[in-house]
């Protein structure tokens, strides 16, 4: 793999961005890179809609009596925030944007296995997202993103069905994307690219895809059953009709717990790439990191009951789910230790992607360790349903998944756009996001231990100080997210032209020009070395360690 | 692993921090044990977080890039290191699991001598009734130092009864009974919250536990009684709704005699023999045909919707009392 690819002057070279012009060339494209950009645009809109809702919530909560909106409106704010962020931003984020862009390039292929299905998945996503936004504009949904029955199925008078159908539809986009990735990684790897030469990003995406295609149908069926109960009064979940509300929670969490790993596993993949590149080291314990992704995907399916320790499942079920939840913590710990060890004796630079990746390690560590409080039965009784839970999962999903997403966007931005972004601004934004994030969510751990329940539109005055701190942090965090939006858009036109490999990174995607031609590679690459061959040059014949 | 002095010292220290509140009041026998585990977990979290942050910062400075020509040495696989940081966290997790699971197991079983109080959650208030007949809304008066068992159900959606100062919480489901218990260790007023989202007034479903001395509690109870205990109210309903026309005491009626049935297994037509408890009786009242009994025609009408949850609890209290003298006599 030689990084020195001769580059034609950008004005004349044909790449995937200038290969064709016009709306039609985008809306009917089968190029995985263009579809990745379609996803990028759509989920960015969803991210800022969801973010605006969060800002409104935090402003409202400055006053214990609820300063801004009526309780009903507040209930809709947190419901729409959660639903949009989870189903329409986090779940598609890294897989559908970076995964779409990178999976074919990393395996050395021209495109995904099923380019038409890939485009279809974006249209399905847009259909789902449109319904979700319609539900928001038409008056909102007030059930919480968890849609617990019988509140959602019988008592709520809001647009539950519209939202449920939106999520149901968007789920198929996820299934199709996962299917595409699995087939591509199995069948389209370049000659010489064995499983244990795959970048860890692909291992993570592969594990994620397994969860997508195995888990998503369950939530689709569950939402369908809620619809059946609401429309046709078939007794499934509502005890008044002879149903069982706990059944809903089992079905819902059977998908929605693994869904957490859909959000964070790809982030772990991104972090592995970035850490290796900016410390110029092969990832420490490559096979341990790879297999930990797979074991998270498998064990992740067996821990859903830890959301229900106080919900009324038997205490013996609780005992088993608690044990399994501790087990799923181990592979995550292994990853953290290996990333840290990778830095040892490295040549570490502090470019923006690296700052995000290091931020990820710190925040994910805290998110993971606070998860132990919730996996522990005795402490979970006190903490479940409080702000402690809110803080914990935001450390994983925002401190983890979103940090990694931002890191990944910055890392591959030169490849995606062909332009460099202003480095100082990028580092500044990363620092602001890190500080704003901690100020927003750390006080929420304390609020939770004090006993403040989540989803409260108003609250007793003794919780005010910590709430004000959290709201102050949220404004900083909000600014932190707006800065990259501005300079990344700016860079598309005015940024300096990016070379093929600005970071001197390893990996097939860096061997082709920035932005890549539609076919990705002029000649199918042949892989002769392991991933992350940043070490001293040596004969390929020596073969790979571990 | 118990270190009561450390536990109390930490609790006292957290209480005295000025400005920002950090620890909730601790007012039940369960709270102490939960806090002890909480402190241990906090210590683990701090240890690993600080260690990881320190190492990362150290590496960031020590191994910062000095020139583009830096050539770091090849990463070498170290199996011993990998196994260490796989096995050590695993053992740590096992320790935490055993500790937390056994504590939870102990905490979840109410003592036999617990005094009973009945809680019904409905959008958006808490109805509480004492066996002596006193009823209250969003307030729960209890004596200090006495185990109290709350038997809880919901009239509509799922709620959750949560007393932070006692470190106890459980969801409150429609159609089901769940019990939690506590023994208050100090007098005072403590918040209770609904902590399962239940609609518009969720945040207003807040109340106070008023922990009183035994004397104050007795006086309060005497002052609030309306002359009808839960059992008496249940007996009134038993006649009013015609239960007594079929469930004759001598067993010759169209329905089985309920005398002395509580707490004993009841054979059903499907061959199962569940124990007659509160949940069994609730189902027998609301969905009698879902559990036909051998030798009796399934002719009982459902009382779903005719009785509210509080009335069903009163009926159950009455059925429970039938044959109670006999039961007590036997145990003597």
Count other Cβ atoms within 10 Å, centred on residue A190: 16
Q: Which of B122, B202, B204, B283 to mutate to test the interface with A (most CBs of A within 10 A)?
A: B202
Q: Which residues of chain B have pLDDT under 70?
A: 1-2, 17-19, 225-226, 325-332
- Identify which of A179, A235, A233, A237 has the alpha carbon closest to the alpha carbon of residue A209: A179
Residues B148 and B117 sit within 8 Å (Cβ to Cβ) = yes
Q: What is the pLDDT of residue B331?
A: 47
pLDDT exceeds cutoff 70 at A108:
yes
- Residue numbers in A near B165 (CB within 8 A): 451
Half-sphere exposure of B171 (CA within 13 A, CB side): 26
A&B contacts, CB < 8 Å: 269
Give the residue ranges of DSSP H helices in chain B.
4-16, 29-62, 79-108, 214-224, 230-240, 243-246, 278-286, 309-321, 324-331
Q: What is the pLDDT of residue A540?
A: 47
pLDDT exceeds cutoff 60 at A463:
yes
The closest CB to that of A329, out of B20, B93, B164, belongs to: B93
List all residues of chain B from 268 to 307 with a beta carbon under 8 Å from chain A.
Answer: 287, 304
State the Cα–Cα distance between residues A235 and A478, nearest whole angstrom.
44
At A411 the three-state DSSP class reads helix
Q: What is the pLDDT of residue A273?
A: 96
pLDDT exceeds cutoff 50 at A545:
no
Q: What is the pLDDT of residue A4?
A: 45
Structurally, at CATH architecture level, domain A25-534 sits in Up-down Bundle (1.20)
Say which residues have a Cβ less than 8 Å from residue B116's Cβ, sequence separation at least 6: B131, B148, B149, B151
The residue of chain B with its CA nearest to that of A349 is B65
Q: What is the pLDDT of residue A541?
A: 44
pLDDT, tens only, A413-443: 999 999 999 999 999 999 999 999 999 999 9
- The residue extents of the domains of chain A are 25-534
Count Cβ neighbours within 10 Å for each residue of B118-136 and write b for 16 or more, e otherwise: bbbbbbbbbbbbbbebbbb
Cβ-defined contact of B45 to A370 (cutoff 8 Å): yes
Q: What is the pLDDT of residue A333?
A: 94
- Identify which of B262, B257, B254, B248 has the alpha carbon closest to the alpha carbon of residue B301: B254
State the Cα–Cα distance between residues B300 and B296, nearest whole angstrom.
10
Q: Report all structural domains of chain B as residue ranges with CATH numbers, in order of start.
A: 4-58+76-108 (no CATH), 122-224 (2.60.40.420), 230-331 (1.10.760.10)
A204: exposed, middle or buried (Cβ count in 10 Å: 0-12, 13-18, 19+): buried
pLDDT, tens only, A190-205: 999 999 999 999 999 9
pLDDT exceeds cutoff 90 at A13:
no
Say which residues have a Cβ less than 8 Å from residue A215's Cβ, sequence separation at least 6: A254, A255, A258, A259, A262, A301
Cβ-defined contact of B193 to A453 (cutoff 8 Å): yes
- Identify which of A542, A537, A535 has the alpha carbon closest to the alpha carbon of residue A283: A535
Residue A228: pLDDT band (50, 70, 90) is confident
Q: What is the pLDDT of residue B2?
A: 59
State the Cα–Cα distance between residues B296 and B202, nearest whole angstrom.
44
Count other Cβ atoms within 10 Å, centred on residue B297: 9
The closest CB to that of A381, out of B19, B73, B167, belongs to: B167
Q: What is the CA radius of gyration of chain A?
A: 23
């Amino acid at each position: 793999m030689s990084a020195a690819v001769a580059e034609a002057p950008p004005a004349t070279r044909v790449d995937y961005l200038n290969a064709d012009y016009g709306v039609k060339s985008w809306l009917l494209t089968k190029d995985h890179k263009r579809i990745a950009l379609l996803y990028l645009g759509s989920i960015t809109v969803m991210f800022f809609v969801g973010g605006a809702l969060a800002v409104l919530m935090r402003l409202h909560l400055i006053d214990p009596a609820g300063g801004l909106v009526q309780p009903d409106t507040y209930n809709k704010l947190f419901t729409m925030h959660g639903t949009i962020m989870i189903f329409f931003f986090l779940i598609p984020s890294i897989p559908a944007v970076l995964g779409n862009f990178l999976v074919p390039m990393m395996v050395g292929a021209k495109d995904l296995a099923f380019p038409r299905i890939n485009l279809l998945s974006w249209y399905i996503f847009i259909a789902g997202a449109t319904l979700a936004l319609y539900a928001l504009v038409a008056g909102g949904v007030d059930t919480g993103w968890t849609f617990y029955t019988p509140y959602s199925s019988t008592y709520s008078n809001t647009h539950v069905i519209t939202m449920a159908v939106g999520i149901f539809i968007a789920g198929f986009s996820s299934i199709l994307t996962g299917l595409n990735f699995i087939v591509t990684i199995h069948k389209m790897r370049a000659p010489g690219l064995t499983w244990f030469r795959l970048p860890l990003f692909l291992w993570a995406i592969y594990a994620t895809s397994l969860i997508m295609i195995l888990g998503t149908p369950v939530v689709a069926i569950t939402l369908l059953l809620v619809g059946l109960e609401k429309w046709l009064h078939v007794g499934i979940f509502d005890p008044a009709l002879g149903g069982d509300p706990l059944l809903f929670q089992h079905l819902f969490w059977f998908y929605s717990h693994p869904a957490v790993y859909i959000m964070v596993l790809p982030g772990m993949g991104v972090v592995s790439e970035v850490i290796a590149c900016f410390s110029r080291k092969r990832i420490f314990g490559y096979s341990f990191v790879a297999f930990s992704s797979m074991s998270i995907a498998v064990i992740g399916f067996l821990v859903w009951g830890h959301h229900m320790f106080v919900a009324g499942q038997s205490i013996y079920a609780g005992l088993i789910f608690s044990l399994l939840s501790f087990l799923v913590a181990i592979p995550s710990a292994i990853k953290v230790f290996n990333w840290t060890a990778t830095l040892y004796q490295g040549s570490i630079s502090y470019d923006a992607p690296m700052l995000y990746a290091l931020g990820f390690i710190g925040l994910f560590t805290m998110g993971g360790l606070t998860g132990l409080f919730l996996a522990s039965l005795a402490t979970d009784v006190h903490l479940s349903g409080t702000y402690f839970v809110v803080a914990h999962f935001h450390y994983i999903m925002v401190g983890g998944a979103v940090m990694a997403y931002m890191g990944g966007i910055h890392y591959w931005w030169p490849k995606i756009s062909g332009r460099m972004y202003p480095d100082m601004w990028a580092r500044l934004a990363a620092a602001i996001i890190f500080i704003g994030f901690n100020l927003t969510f750390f006080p929420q751990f304390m609020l939770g231990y004090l006993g403040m329940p989540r989803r409260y539109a108003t609250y007793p005055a003794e919780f005010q100080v910590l709430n004000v701190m959290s709201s102050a942090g949220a404004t900083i965090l909000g600014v932190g997210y707006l800065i990259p939006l501005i300079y990344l858009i700016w860079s598309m036109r005015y940024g300096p032209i990016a070379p093929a490999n600005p970071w001197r990174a390893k990996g097939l995607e860096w061997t082709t020009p920035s932005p890549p031609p539609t076919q990705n590679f002029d000649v199918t690459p042949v892989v002769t070395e392991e991933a992350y061959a940043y070490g001293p040059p040596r004969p390929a014949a020596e073969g790979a360690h571990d | 692993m118990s270190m009561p002095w450390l536990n109390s010292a930490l609790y006292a220290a957290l209480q005295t921090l000025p400005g920002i509140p950090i620890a909730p009041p601790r007012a039940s026998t369960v709270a102490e044990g939960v806090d002890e585990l909480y402190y241990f977990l906090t210590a683990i979290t701090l240890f690993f977080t600080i260690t990881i942050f320190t190492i990362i910062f150290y590496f960031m400075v020590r191994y910062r890039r000095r020139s583009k020509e830096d050539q770091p040495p090849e990463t070498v696989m170290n199996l011993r290191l990998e196994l260490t940081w796989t096995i050590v966290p695993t053992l740590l997790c096992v320790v935490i699991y055993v500790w937390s699971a056994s504590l939870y197991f102990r905490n979840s079983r109410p003592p036999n001598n617990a005094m009973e109080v009945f809680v019904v959650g409905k959008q958006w208030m808490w109805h509480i009734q004492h066996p002596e007949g006193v009823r209250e809304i969003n307030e729960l008066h209890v004596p200090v130092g006495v185990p109290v068992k709350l038997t809880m159900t919901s009239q509509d959606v799922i709620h959750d009864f949560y007393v932070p100062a006692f470190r106890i919480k459980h969801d409150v489901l429609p159609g089901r009974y769940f019990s939690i218990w506590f023994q208050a260790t100090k007098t005072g007023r403590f918040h209770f919250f609904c902590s399962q989202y239940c609609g518009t007034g969720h945040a207003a479903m807040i109340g106070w536990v008023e922990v009183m001395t035994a004397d104050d509690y007795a006086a309060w109870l005497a002052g609030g009684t309306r002359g009808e205990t839960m059992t008496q109210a249940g007996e009134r309903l038993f006649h009013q709704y015609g239960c007594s026309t079929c469930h004759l005491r001598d067993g010759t009626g169209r329905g089985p005699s309920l005398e002395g049935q509580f707490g004993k297994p009841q054979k059903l037509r499907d061959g199962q023999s569940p124990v007659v408890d509160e949940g069994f009786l609730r189902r027998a009242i609301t969905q009698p045909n879902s559990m036909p009994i051998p030798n009796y025609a399934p002719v009982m009408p459902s009382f779903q919707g005719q009785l509210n949850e509080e009335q069903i609890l009163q009926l159950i209290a009455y059925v429970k009392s039938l044959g109670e003298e006999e039961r007590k006599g036997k145990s003597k």
